[in-house]
Structure 1
Amino acid sequence: MKSVLRNIKGDRMIWAVAALLAIFSFLPVYSASSNLAYLYGDGDTFGFLVKHFAHLALGFGIMYWVHKIPYHYFKGLSIIMLPVIVILLLLTMAQNTTIEGANASRWIRLPFVGVTFQTSTLSAVVLMAFVARYLTKIKDKSVTFKETLLPLWLPVFIILMLILPANFSTAAILFAMVIVLVFLGGYPLRYITVVLGSGFVVLAFFVLFAKAFPGVFPNRVDTWVSRVENFVDDTDTEEDYQIERAKIAIARGELLGKGPGKSVQRNFLPQSSSDFIYAIIVEEWGLFGGLFLMLLYALLLFRIVIVAHKSADVFGKLLVIGVGLPIVFQAFINMAVAVELFPVTGQTLPLISSGGSSIWMTCLAIGIVLSVSSNREEILEKENMMQESSDDKDALEILSEVV
């Protein structure tokens, strides 16, 4: 363990926040999994706790391994992985996976190991690294929109269109993050406006196509529309069940909460250990617990910005923002959904919610951020060594002159 700790590099605060989130997650996941244990198991919640521990252990293993990789390698890896994720997304759409009888077209079942994996989570990390690489390539160059259409926007729209049919919220968040990244990367604002307009046009055509041929993408567009309508309309309907239960859980939490493991709404709230785990956290830990969790994500965002600012080159800055910002953005969307500030999206709470794909890809993204941070530390160490060597040389020269 000591040797591992000595080899941990990068921003210590990011390591600490990630560890705190992971440790804290065991309590709400263990508490909220009682509903899943009753529905799909034999009533024993310990198995869900062990599974969550295994997901986190593998995730932190990924984080540790990735943070040892020089971040410049992710330039080439993003290009290599781009066609891989396109194939994975196509396979995900083709196989039409079901999990426990429910439609799970966002997941692919890995052969031989029997593990399901959400391909869109990996696609998001790879795509953001790819966009960061391209923006670095054209930095300080005058480019036309036509020149960037094929090398930049074609891959972006292909991946988004492959994600969109099964997971509108992830596609929308990823599109928004790409727009933020290209804006920060200095891409011309007039071209960004064209891309935004094109995105809305493509979405409109997709909705019209899905409405005209409902058998191609069954129920997906209707689900999006109903979620938005339920968010806008105050009339209670059967579709409002999840959000109403979440609001009840939050209201019961008050300031200090009911105590760990004493949630009542966990027995009634679907997805209580994943999409709506924040409501269970507030019910058990109260307003102070909910605010403390928000502060942890805000601190993570602050450290991500610091790492990006201190990065040695443009690619490092854009890479950190590209893979780090979506983690915090997703977290605040999850919390906003629980308090009905946002329509239901199905986004999990990073490093808190149960589920392997989300945990693993969050750890992958944090590992990339730490890789950039550790590179900065290595540069500083080399500069200090050179300075010390220079000081020793100057001292020897002064001593020789005196003698």
Structure 2
Amino acid sequence: MTAATPDQNRAPASRAQAHHAFARSDRSAIGVWWWTVDRWMLGVVALLIAVGVVIAFAASPAAAARMNIGDPFHFAVRQCVFAAAAAAILVVTSMFDVKTVKRSAFFIWLIAIAVMVALPFLGHNAKGATRWIELGGFSLQPSEFMKPALIVLVAWMFSEGQKGQGVPGVSIAFALYLIPVALLLMQPDVGQTVLITATFGAVFWMAGVPLSWVMGLGVVAVAGLGSTYFLLPHVASRVDKFLQPDKADTHQVDAARVAQAAGRLFGRGPGEGVLKRSIPDAHTDFALSVGAEEFGLVFLMLVVTLFTIIVVRGLYRAMKLSDPFEQVAAAGLFVLVGLQAIINVAVNLDMIPTKGMTLPFISYGGSSMLAMGLTLGLALALTRRRPGAYTVGEGLAKAGAFA
């Protein structure tokens, strides 16, 4: 009988490890991270980032020509840089422990709020809103970074308030929420206000606050949103365009609908789209329609499926966490990503008035890309498979079943 070779004698588990970048015995920071982070989620996010880069290359030449920029791939190259930076932020933040997540969220929220306060004096005005600050050729939108930090902080305050140790967690959480809302309405940025209000309400509900309180918050939010129609002219204009398209200039949304229809199932082909040549926001707010025209309904369904996987898988893992703060904070971050995607898709499909909100990882924009890397990095940090992180019976066994 032929003697078995060392490779043949190797245990099945050892063979399986050979396919991974790190051995399970690797106790380095990278090795521990690799075996505890949700690698399926990393793969889905990487695919979304790759799709965003492809769309940037498709839309960049037309956008550059429209803005008289000599380099046709100006926006595509910048999107690649933003994508690499976002991936780095995601990996680094996903290595954080829970305490570091809390501390980071506090300082990020504080810095973002400080910059938002300074926007009326130092900010850059575009399209009637002062939302950005110029930093060496880069337009930073502080509200993008405020959002994930806010969700972590309010989840933290809700969990502290429920411990019954005299901490007014609900009151502090509302203060943390109302401050950025006031600053956003001053810019004005109703889209971001709607997004953080809806996410705050979801966190409010998931934290176990009485349903009557949640319903009360909903009534106040709806009333507040309705009042913006009468207080902010640009909001009234967008709503009127949506409700009476025959009496207003709806060029962007009309072109988006035409582009989606022209794409049919498999699209016109790379570089063959016409939407990007005439729409100012084709590479940003309407990037989804650019992709739908060139790559068809298949592209649209792929993007929707990837976001669905992120949200559903993220919420499932968050639900199995044993600590109330980790559970609510992680779920809130995944809800934030999902709601922003839903809003952008709904605008592209002409289901709601335009909001000026990017599609995470797909639309061109440095602040959005970096902030989304931060958002999912914090969510992945909270859902890592640490000892005792998951409930008994649902812990490492089930959480690691698809790792």
* Partners of 1:93 and 1:248 in 2: CA distance: 38
Q: 2:105 aligns to what?
A: 78
Bigger mean CA deviation after superposition, 41-50 or 336-345 = 41-50
Give distance in 2, aligned partners of 1:28 and 1:80: 34
1:181-192 equivalent positions in 2, closer than 5 A? 181-192=203-214
Q: Measure the CA separation in 2 of the matches of 1:191 and 1:15.
A: 36
Other-structure match for 2:198:
176
Please say if 1:50 is aligned against 2:77.
yes
2:181 to 160, 177, 183: 160
The equivalent residue for 1:90 is 117
Q: Distance in 2 between matches of 1:352 and 1:54?
A: 14
Output the aligned Cα RMSD: 2.7
The structure where helix makes up a greater share of residues is 1
TM-score (norm 2): 0.83
1:353 Cα deviation after fit: 0.9
Structure 1 residue 148: Cα displacement: 5.6
CA offset at residue 51 of structure 1?
0.7
Report what 1:130 is aligned to: 153
Given that 2:56 and 2:364 are in contact with CA atoms closer than 8 Å, whether structure 1 keeps it comes out as yes
CA displacement, residues 324-356 of structure 1 (integer Å, 9 cap, x when unaligned): 211111112111111111111111110111111
**1:206 Cα offset (Å):** 6.4
User: How does 1:226-245 map onto structure 2 within 5 Å?
Assistant: 226-238=237-249, 240-245=250-255
Query: 2:267 maps to what in 1?
Result: 257
CA contact (8 A) 1:88 1:119 kept: yes
Contact 2:61 2:73 in 1 (8 A): no
Please state how far the C-alpha of 1:122 moved relative to its aligned partner: 1.0
* Structure 1 residues 316 and 363: alpha-carbon distance in aligned structure 2, compared to 1, 3 A threshold: same
In structure 1, the partner of 2:347 is 337
Q: Which amino acid aligns with 1:175?
A: T
- 360-369 or 196-205, larger mean C-alpha shift: 196-205
Q: 1:250 to 1:187 in 2, by over 3 A?
A: same
2:38: which partner in 1? 11
Other structure's SS at 2:179 match: helix
2:69 and 2:199 mapped to 1: Cα distance?
Answer: 42
The CA distance in 2 between the partners of 1:123 and 1:379, in whole Å, is 26
State the 1:194 CA deviation.
3.1
CA distance in 2, matches of 1:55, 1:376: 30
Change beyond 3 A, Cα 1:157–1:379: closer
Alpha-carbon distance, 1:20 to partner: 0.4
| Partner AA of 1:67 in structure 2 | S
Q: Which runs of 5+ in 1 are unaligned?
A: 211-220, 384-403
Higher relative contact order (CA 8 A, sep 6+): 1
Deviation at 1:125, TM superposition (A): 1.0
2:138 alignment counterpart: 115
Q: CA deviation at 1:140?
A: 6.1
Superposition map of 1:245-394 within 5 A = 245-376=255-386
SS of 1:109's partner is strand
Distance apart, 1:203 and its partner CA: 5.3
Query: Which segment drifts farther, 114-123 or 187-196?
Result: 187-196
1:67 aligns with 2:94: yes
Alpha-carbon separation, structure 1, partners of 2:208 and 2:164: 10
Alignment partners' CA distance in 2, 1:243 and 1:318: 36
CA distance in 2, matches of 1:255, 1:206: 39
Of all paired residues, the percent bearing the same amino acid is 24
Structure-to-structure mapping, 1:218-229, within 5 angstroms: 221-229=232-240
Which one is further off, 307-316 or 199-208?
Answer: 199-208
Distance 2:78 2:30 in 1: 25
User: Aligned residues, how many?
Assistant: 363
Q: Are the aligned partners of 2:129 and 2:189 in contact in 1 as well (CA < 8 Å)?
A: no
Provide the rounded CA distance (Å) in 2 between the counterparts of 1:184 and 1:82.
Answer: 21
The 1:228/1:365 distance shift into structure 2, 3 A limit, reads same
> Following TM superposition, by how much is the alpha carbon of 1:297 offset from its aligned partner in structure 2, in angstroms?
0.7
CA shift, 1:205, in A, is 6.4
Residue aligned with 1:258, SS: coil
Whole-angstrom distance in 2 between the partners of 1:351 and 1:174? 18
TM-score by length of 1: 0.83
Matched AA of 1:248 = V
**Stretch deviating more after TM superposition (129-138 or 74-83):** 74-83
Q: Does the 8 Å CA contact 1:27/1:261 hold for their aligned counterparts? A: no
**What is the aligned partner in structure 1 of residue 162 from structure 2?**
139
Q: How far 1:259 sits from its partner (Å)?
A: 1.1
Question: Does residue 1:28 correspond to 2:50, yes or no?
Answer: no
Contact 2:203 2:329 in 1 (8 A): no
CA distance in 1, matches of 2:299, 2:217: 40
What is the rounded CA distance, in whole Å, between the counterparts of 1:329 and 1:161 in structure 2?
Answer: 21
Shift of 1:93: 2.9
Q: What does the per-residue CA deviation read over 1:115-154, in whole Å, with 9 as the maximum and x for residues that have no partner?
A: 211111111111111111011112365999xx56642212
- CA shift in 2, pair 1:42/1:161, >3 Å: closer
Question: 2: distance between equivalents of 1:24 and 1:195?
Answer: 37
* C-alpha contact 2:148 2:375 (8 A) present in aligned 1: yes
Q: 1:253·1:287 contact (CA, 8 Å) conserved in 2?
A: yes
Offset from partner CA, 1:8-38 (integer Å, 9 cap, x none)? 3411111011000111222211111222210
Residues 188-227 of structure 1, C-alpha deviations (whole Å, 9 max, x = no match) = 122223333444555566666x4xxxxxxxxxx1111111
Gaps of 5+ in 2: 1-19, 23-28, 394-403
Residue 104 (structure 1) shift: 5.0
TM-aligned CA deviation for residue 257 of structure 1: 0.7
